[in-house]
Amino acid sequence: MPSTEDIRPGRRYTLNLGSGDGRDGLLYVPRAYKPGVAAPLMVVLHGFAGTSQSAAYTFPLAEEFGIIILAPDSRDERTWDLLLGAYGPDVEFVGSAVGQTLKRCTIDRQRMAIAGHSDGASYALSLGIGAGDVFSRLIAFSPGVMLPSDRRGNPRIFISHGRSDRTMPIDDTSRKFVPRLKALGYGVTYHEYDGGHGVPPAIVREAFEWFNR
């Protein structure tokens, strides 16, 4: 990863935080970014068997809204540690990736989100509730699990889910998560849509617009 002075708008950078096994992550800096001017940051987590490259669906909107995208790889090639049984090395890795980004880019600390789809949504929602003093916004596209280890801060939450999702059935997941979160006092924006497990581009845009407000 280059130094602060070497960061250039409109480029992707590898994190160089990995252990040499090929799993690392990337940082996407939109063309609108200006060093020294605080920009919003969105940490985007991949789904099952994915990598940081899976976050590419967010890059056009990152360009449009001027949002820096940080996309780490899970330590295990299958998925995030919580989905394999318990929090572990992914917590430290995501924290290191965020810390590195804060050192190398000018980030608006009040406009930091963690987001993901499928397993990435589960992890963003679960980890984000425990790190709500860091992330002011949580975005979960079709989450399957909500297992926070702690509650900190009061982040606003965006959840979307397809009514015909057979991978993470909506009745077993988001339709239970949303009332529980609201009962705990969280501000939740919830959008159900006709469709399956994939997240439609219109829903991704809605989430970016929600984050940008």
Q: Give 159-175 pLDDT, tens digit per residue.
A: 999 999 999 999 999 99
Share of the chain above pLDDT 70, in %: 97
> What pLDDT, on a 0 to 100 scale, did the predictor assign at position 20?
66
State which amino acid sits at residue 190.
Y
Question: What pLDDT shows up at residue 1?
Answer: 43
Q: How confident is the model at residue 2 (pLDDT cuts 50, 70, 90)?
A: very low
Mean pLDDT across the chain = 95
- The boundaries of the domain holding residue 121 are 4-212
Any idea what the CATH number is for the domain that residue 29 is in? Answer: 3.40.50.1820
Predicted TM-score (pTM) of this structure: 0.96
**Section 149-159 average pLDDT:** 97
N residues, the chain: 213
The overall longest dimension of the chain from CA atoms, in Å, is 49
Q: What is the pLDDT of residues 191-210, one digit of tens each?
A: 999 999 999 999 999 999 99
| Alpha-carbon separation of residue 129 from 135, 140, 147, 165 (angstroms) | 9, 12, 9, 24
CA atoms of 81 and 193, how far apart (whole Å)? 29
Q: Name the nearest CA neighbour of 62 among 7, 130, 119, 10.
A: 10
User: Can you tell me the distance from the alpha carbon of 128 to that of 125, in angstroms, rounded to the nearest whole number?
Assistant: 5
Give the distance from CA 1 to its chain's centroid.
20
* pLDDT number for residue 4: 54
Q: Would you state the structure tokens that stand for residue 152, as one six-digit string?
A: 């900190």
Does residue 18 surpass a pLDDT of 80?
A: no
In the chain, the amino acid numbered 130 is G
Q: Which residues contact 62 (CB under 8 A, 6 or more apart)?
A: 28, 30, 42, 68, 69
From the centroid of its chain, how far is CA 155? 13
Asked whether 139 and 113 are in contact (CB, 8 A), the reply is: yes
The total of structural domains in the chain comes to 1
